[in-house]
């Protein structure tokens, strides 16, 4: 790792200089997004097209990170460029009054998500999740929020005890034991406003975006209904897995759904919606209106971008095809890892996947994935170090952004081409040869 970091620093002096300038300019920590920082400094992008970014040092890299899902359609989707350009010609700062795109986008989203009758827009997924929790608190008159330990629902919404976090009383439960979770819901029913969750398997140390078993989610759905609290599905990332989101795949309807990121095609966008009983209080004429709003929640540029995405880039057929191809790619990765005897497996669903560097399985076989599911992710330092080493190797030797240096979390952009996938698989082979001794050591400590 020391050698890899030194090689990285030598190869990227312009990115180092850009980061130093950002710190000197007064930006706290040199970045406005702590999640993208890594040592010794983050890469700086100066240009990009499709799924290829160009760094400040002139390296052309294929992007498998996809800006944590926000970049699903690549860096410069032409339909979005065209739509935003048209919107700018008619007053890009339209505000203070409704615009016609609001109804168009709302109708398209409601058509896709069966559990939604009404929606509201925001600028980010973080805002959407905050609005959804506030909606549940207002409708139920209760205060507590339940979430998974280690969960992440936005910049200030964490399943942990962080300084920058929502000022609500949180109840934290580990993923996997539905009986225990339902007991906690029952015990706190009198003051529990909502259970917010991603409908996937959650582990505090990795992004494991594998959809949770349907029986597990259905049991929790029933418990929330009986307790009268809202079940909120955070589908900001997972809604890309099917035209109607992960909830469509498992057949479980939440009370409130949040969405965002990729729907904006690179523009800031978020939203939330649900059945009328939960959403009608957002009506300004309602007797108990909660008077929600936001200066840029209906901005014409973002809504034009969303309209273009839904019309031209992300039809139900395009969604299904991309996720089907991604499933095949994950199978290819796992077959290759097995053939090379590399202690690593790709986990996830559709176009969301994570490489986890350990010998023993993270998830047991399908026979035990029903109501209780233990996710066995090793805490050994070598597991996280291997992910970082792979990231540095792929960047240097194959011009690939293999997730982030902290985690090989891949949110596959549609703009990736066949040659990009082939290059990624070739990179795995090269990594296995280059670090054969280290990978054997990793295998020994993660059996």
User: Which residues are marked as active site?
Assistant: 152, 234, 261
Distance, in Å, from the CA atom of 45 to the CA atom of 68, rounded to the nearest integer, reads 16
Distance, in Å, from the CA atom of 307 to the CA atom of 226, rounded to the nearest integer, reads 38
Per the CB < 8 A criterion, the answer to whether 445 and 355 are in contact is: no
| Tokens matching residue 220 | 């929790």
Instruction: Return the SS3 of 388.
Output: helix
Per the CB < 8 A criterion, the answer to whether 252 and 110 are in contact is: no
Distance of alpha carbon 151 from its chain centroid, rounded?
Answer: 11
Distance, in Å, from the CA atom of 121 to the CA atom of 101, rounded to the nearest integer, reads 12
Cβ-Cβ contacts under 8 Å for 293 (sequence gap 6 or more):
none
Distance, in Å, from the CA atom of 186 to the CA atom of 110, rounded to the nearest integer, reads 31
Cβ-Cβ contacts under 8 Å for 10 (sequence gap 6 or more):
none
Contacts 24+ apart (CB under 8 A), 282-286: 282/118, 282/120, 282/135
Distance, in Å, from the CA atom of 321 to the CA atom of 315, rounded to the nearest integer, reads 10
- C-alpha distances (whole Å) from 440 to each of 4, 171, 356, 385, 435 are 19, 41, 15, 14, 9
């Amino acid at each position: 790792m020391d050698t890899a970091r030194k090689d990285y620093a030598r190869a990227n002096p312009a990115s180092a200089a850009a980061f130093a300038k950002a710190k000197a300019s007064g930006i706290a920590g040199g970045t406005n997004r702590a999640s993208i920082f890594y040592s010794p400094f983050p890469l700086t992008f100066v240009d990009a097209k499709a799924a290829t970014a160009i760094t400040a040092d002139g390296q052309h890299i294929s992007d498998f990170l996809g800006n944590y899902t926000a970049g699903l359609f690549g860096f410069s989707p032409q339909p979005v460029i065209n739509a935003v350009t048209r919107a700018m010609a008619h007053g890009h700062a339209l505000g203070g009054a409704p615009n016609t795109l609001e109804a168009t986008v709302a109708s398209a989203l409601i058509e896709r998500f069966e559990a939604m009758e009404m929606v509201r827009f925001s600028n980010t997924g973080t805002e959407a999740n905050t609005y959804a929790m506030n909606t549940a608190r207002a409708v139920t008159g209760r205060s507590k929020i339940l979430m998974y330990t280690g969960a992440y629902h936005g910049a200030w919404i964490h399943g942990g005890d962080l300084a920058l976090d929502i000022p609500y009383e949180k109840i934290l439960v580990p993923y996997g034991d539905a009986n225990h979770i339902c007991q906690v819901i029952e015990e706190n029913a009198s003051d529990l406003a909502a259970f917010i969750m991603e409908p996937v398997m959650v582990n505090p140390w990795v992004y494991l975006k594998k959809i949770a078993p349907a029986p597990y989610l259905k049991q929790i759905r029933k418990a929330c209904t009986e307790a009268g609290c809202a079940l909120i599905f955070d589908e900001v990332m997972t809604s890309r897995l099917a035209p109607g989101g992960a909830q469509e795949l498992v057949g479980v309807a939440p009370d409130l759904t949040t969405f965002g990121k990729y729907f904006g095609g690179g523009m800031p966008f978020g939203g939330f919606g649900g059945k009328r009983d939960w959403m009608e209080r957002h009506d300004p004429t309602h007797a108990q209106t909660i008077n929600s709003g936001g200066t840029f929640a209906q901005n014409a540029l973002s809504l034009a971008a969303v309209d273009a995405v839904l019309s031209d880039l992300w039809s139900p057929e395009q969604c299904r095809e991309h996720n089907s191809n991604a499933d095949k790619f994950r199978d290819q990765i796992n077959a290759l890892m097995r053939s090379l005897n590399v202690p690593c497996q790709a986990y996830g669903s559709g176009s969301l996947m994570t490489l986890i560097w350990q010998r023993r399985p993270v998830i047991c076989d399908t026979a035990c994935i029903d109501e209780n599911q233990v996710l066995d992710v090793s805490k050994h330092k070598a597991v996280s170090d291997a992910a970082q080493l792979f990231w540095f190797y792929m960047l240097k030797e194959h011009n690939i952004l293999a997730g982030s240096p902290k985690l090989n979390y891949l949110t596959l952009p549609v703009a990736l081409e066949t040659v990009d996938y082939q290059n990624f698989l070739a990179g795995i082979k090269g990594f296995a040869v280059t670090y054969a001794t280290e990978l054997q050591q990793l295998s020994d400590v993660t059996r």
